[in-house]
């Protein structure tokens, strides 16, 4: 149900994009959103059996939202 | 002598492996360029030296800490690289391995935490992996000491016995390959760069590695510099990443084997369900810290400290006194040893139990994997003050020692955020401030000791957060914070690992007792036993008294009415632990109980609390000032830190004392 596909890295700063790449994420990777924190706090996503915490803004961008 | 460099992603158990492989190690200061400690160890009964490098995700560094690895590879050539990987996250771990294999230095890859992998129901065919990657592949589980004997046998070989590796050659797209070849060829021809190294340098340069680009500019490597615009315009770095990732996916797909038994890693998820709960996560975090303080100050640490104090101020002190009297030592020397050194240095040593319990708790949190969860649940709050949850970790480590806390800030990506974290770190109440809190709470708040101490820690955090927000506004930091935090599997803390970590953190405290605290105590003894007329028997006529009395009007408004604490505060800049040993000397007492009675007599609850707040926030110790200077690279920030913290501490102590006195 909480499955998303990574659509883009556009609009992210270089450091964030690079770090996400290093964690094995690329366009087309499927991610599962495990947990959302209140007040647009961080999001825990699961990719390739690993859990990563990212900011809500980054999550939105990755899954195809507009840059905030 | 064979040199092995240990290299790998964070959370791969690299440090545990290092500790298991080597039996003795030392911190050796200063890499070229950045000041950071490197850890060098020796494998028992061998001529193999092992170098522990910081954990990195790639050779293209984002943080200061990560640049150490690339700088090491640019400047040194180890005989062997041991690439430690997390077996259950091989895909992204191999991204780094590929970069290392391209270097052409002999590499051994070990799949560490192999048990975690087996539990997911997968396994890898090691032969297939080894053929595809072109290097030996081993499996280990450092926490249970599995596979270590075999790995050690690989590492203790002589330089001549290590088989050379061919550099890994990936099928990069045609244009990229051509660019690499051209650059490498002319680097070798015109700049006499060794062919394998030239090849690697070219790939890294094209892949937009910041450190390598700086290196090329410094050495004026024209073949690379002249093509920079072309490489970037063609987005070669994206193509390199995609090629690497698809190579890895293909390799892993061909090597994956399914295991019969599948028992899922349910424990981590179960714990996380509670610990990272969106609403309860934060209260749980606070609860864990409360527990940590209870353990250190109420349940274990304080009672043990009491026994130690009884022993030092009782039998040891009277035995030394008797011995010196019998040996016919000068009364002055006897006073120096008994009232100065044993009382002073001993007065600090008695806090070893409390400090070690606190360090053990911090180590357990680090080792179990909770720290990254703490970063996660605190991120939303930290975002409000313009930092991110990761800044919380250096601050927590700062509870142990501000110096290590500031060092830990190296893992923060944004330079401005790192500067802010560095500047607010000294407000974290480090363990060196504990001795003096303990004395005062025992004297004036005997029934609420843990609560009062916790309130000071809390106040430190509040001031730190407030200042962070202030700096964030002042610096006009606009760029978004980089916050990506990995949540590793939980591990049950192992006793020897916890002891190792505790000792690593705590030995500095014991060392300080023998050096700077010793020196500080002698200094304060001299100041309190000599005056303008030479050796004085009345402490009121000593230099220490003169100095304290001159400054007394300044400290009156914050509730200090005697000169002794003022002189003690001055020595506290050497190291905060010295404050309590100075008090011991200045009040002419030889044990804690007597000193506590003295303090109880010369302070009220409010003036004592005001003083504790002042001690919490005033000038950082020498070591911290030095670290701020080296980490920010400027003496101005260090000076700023001294002045600002003095102003803040005085203002707060003033407010507390004045308002408190009105209310009471």
**Predicted complex ipTM:** 0.92
Residue B389 contacts A where some CB pair is shorter than 8 Å: yes
Answer whether residue B310 shows pLDDT above 50: yes
Contact: B278, A21; criterion CB under 8 Å? no
Give the one of B120, B245, B278 whose C-beta lies nearest to A38's C-beta: B278
Contact: A13, B479; criterion CB under 8 Å? yes
Give the one of A13, A44, A49 whose C-beta lies nearest to B120's C-beta: A49
How many of the other CB atoms lie within 10 Å of CB of B643? 10
Beta bridge partners of A47: A50
The answer on whether B115 is annotated among ligand-binding residues is yes
Residue B166, classified by CB atoms within 10 Å of its CB into exposed (0-12), middle (13-18) or buried (19+), is exposed
Rounded to two decimals, the pTM is 0.80
Contact: A42, B242; criterion CB under 8 Å? no
Contact: B241, A23; criterion CB under 8 Å? no
Long-range contacts from B150-155, C-beta under 8 angstroms, 24+ separation:
B151/B21, B151/B82, B151/B108, B151/B110, B152/B21, B152/B43, B154/B108, B155/B2, B155/B4, B155/B21, B155/B43, B155/B46, B155/B48, B155/B50, B155/B80, B155/B82, B155/B108
Q: pLDDT, tens digit, for every residue of B140-177?
A: 998 888 899 999 988 888 777 787 788 899 999 999 99
pLDDT of res. B35: 39
Q: Domains of chain B by range and CATH?
A: 1-264 (3.40.50.300), 284-479+496-663 (no CATH)
Residue A52 contacts B where some CB pair is shorter than 8 Å: yes
Q: What is the rounded average pLDDT of the residues B130-149?
A: 91
The answer on whether B8 is annotated among ligand-binding residues is yes
Q: pLDDT, tens digit, for every residue of A23-53?
A: 989 898 999 999 899 889 999 999 888 899 9
Residue B87 contacts A where some CB pair is shorter than 8 Å: no
Answer whether residue B216 shows pLDDT above 90: yes
Contact: A15, B486; criterion CB under 8 Å? no
What is the chain B residue with the closest CA to A37?
B278
Q: Residue for token digits 């002698």?
A: B522
- What would the two tokens of residue B583 be? 């008090």
Residue A24 contacts B where some CB pair is shorter than 8 Å: yes
CATH 3.30.1330.120 fits A3-62, yes or no: no
Q: pLDDT, tens digit, for every residue of B172-188?
A: 999 999 999 999 999 99
Do the beta carbons of residue B288 and residue B365 sit within 8 Å? Answer: yes
The answer on whether B506 is annotated among ligand-binding residues is no
Q: Residue for token digits 């505790």?
A: B502
Segment 472-491 of chain B within 8 Å of chain A by CB: 479-487
Do the beta carbons of residue B626 and residue B648 sit within 8 Å? Answer: no
Average per-residue pLDDT for chain B: 86
């Amino acid at each position: 149900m909480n499955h998303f596909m990574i659509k883009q890295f556009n609009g992210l700063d270089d450091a964030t994009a690079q770090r996400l790449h290093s964690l094995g994420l690329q366009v087309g990777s499927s991610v599962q959103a495990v947990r959302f924190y209140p007040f647009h706090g961080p999001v825990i996503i699961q990719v390739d059996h690993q859990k990563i915490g990212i900011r809500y803004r980054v999550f939105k961008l990755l899954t195809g939202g507009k840059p905030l | 002598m064979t040199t092995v460099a240990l290299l790998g992603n964070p959370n791969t158990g690299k440090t545990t492996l290092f500790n298991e492989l080597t039996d003795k190690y030392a911190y050796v200061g200063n890499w070229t360029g950045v000041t950071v400690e490197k850890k060098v160890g020796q494998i028992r009964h061998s001529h193999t030296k092992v170098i522990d490098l910081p954990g990195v995700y790639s050779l293209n560094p984002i943080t200061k800490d990560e640049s150490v690895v690339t700088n090491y590879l640019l400047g040194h050539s180890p005989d062997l690289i041991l690439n430690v990987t997390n077996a259950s996250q091989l895909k992204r771990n191999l991204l780094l391995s590929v970069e290392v294999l391209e270097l052409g230095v002999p590499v051994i890859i070990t799949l560490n935490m192999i048990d975690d992998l087996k539990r997911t129901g997968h396994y890898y065919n090691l032969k297939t992996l080894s053929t595809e990657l072109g290097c030996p592949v081993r499996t280990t589980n450092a926490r249970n000491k599995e596979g270590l004997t075999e790995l050690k046998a690989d590492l203790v070989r002589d330089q001549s016995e290590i088989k050379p590796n061919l550099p890994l050659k990936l099928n990069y797209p045609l244009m990229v390959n051509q660019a690499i070849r051209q650059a490498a060829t002319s680097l070798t021809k015109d700049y006499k760069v060794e062919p394998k190294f030239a090849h690697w340098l070219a790939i890294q340069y094209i892949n937009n590695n910041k450190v390598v680009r700086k290196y090329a500019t410094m050495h004026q490597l024209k073949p690379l510099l002249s093509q920079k615009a072309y490489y970037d315009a063609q987005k070669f770095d994206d193509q390199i990443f995609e090629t690497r990732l698809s190579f890895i996916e293909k390799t892993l797909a061909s090597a994956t084997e399914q295991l019969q038994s599948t028992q899922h890693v349910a424990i981590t998820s179960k714990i996380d369900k509670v610990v990272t709960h969106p609403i309860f996560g934060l209260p749980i975090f606070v609860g864990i810290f409360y527990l940590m303080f209870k353990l250190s100050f109420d349940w274990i640490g304080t009672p043990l400290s009491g026994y130690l104090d009884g022993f030092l101020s009782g039998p040891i002190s009277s035995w030394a006194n008797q011995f010196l009297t019998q040996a016919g030592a000068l009364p002055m020397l006897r006073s120096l040893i008994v009232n100065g050194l044993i009382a002073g240095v001993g007065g600090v040593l008695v806090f070893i139990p409390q400090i070690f319990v606190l360090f053990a708790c911090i180590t357990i949190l680090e080792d179990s994997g909770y720290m990254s969860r703490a970063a996660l649940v605190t991120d939303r709050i930290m975002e409000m003050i313009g930092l991110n949850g990761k800044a919380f970790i250096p601050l927590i480590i700062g509870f142990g020692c501000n110096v290590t806390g500031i060092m830990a800030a190296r893992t923060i990506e944004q330079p401005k955020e790192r500067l802010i974290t560095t500047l607010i770190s000294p407000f974290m109440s480090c363990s060196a401030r504990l001795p003096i809190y303990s004395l005062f709470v025992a004297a004036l708040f005997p029934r609420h000791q843990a609560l009062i101490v916790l309130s000071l820690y809390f106040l430190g955090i509040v001031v730190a957060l407030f200042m962070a927000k202030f700096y964030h506004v002042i610096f006009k930091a606009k760029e978004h914070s980089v916050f990506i935090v990995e949540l590793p599997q939980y591990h049950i803390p192992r006793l020897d690992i916890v002891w190792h970590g505790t000792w690593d953190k705590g030995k500095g405290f014991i060392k300080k007792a023998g050096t700077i605290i010793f020196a500080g105590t002698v200094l304060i003894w001299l100041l309190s036993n000599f005056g303008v007329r030479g050796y004085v028997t009345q402490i009121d006529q000593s230099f220490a008294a003169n100095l304290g009395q001159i400054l007394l009007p300044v400290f009156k408004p914050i509730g200090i009415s005697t000169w002794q604490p003022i002189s003690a505060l001055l020595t506290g800049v050497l190291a905060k632990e010295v404050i309590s040993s100075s008090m011991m000397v200045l009040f002419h007492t030889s044990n804690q109980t007597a000193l506590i009675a003295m303090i109880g007599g010369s302070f009220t609850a409010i003036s004592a609390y005001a003083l504790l707040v002042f001690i919490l926030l005033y000038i950082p110790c020498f070591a911290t000032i030095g670290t701020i200077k080296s980490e920010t690279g400027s003496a101005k920030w260090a000076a700023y830190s001294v002045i600002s913290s003095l102003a803040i501490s005085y203002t707060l102590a003033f407010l507390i004392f004045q308002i408190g006195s009105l209310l009471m």
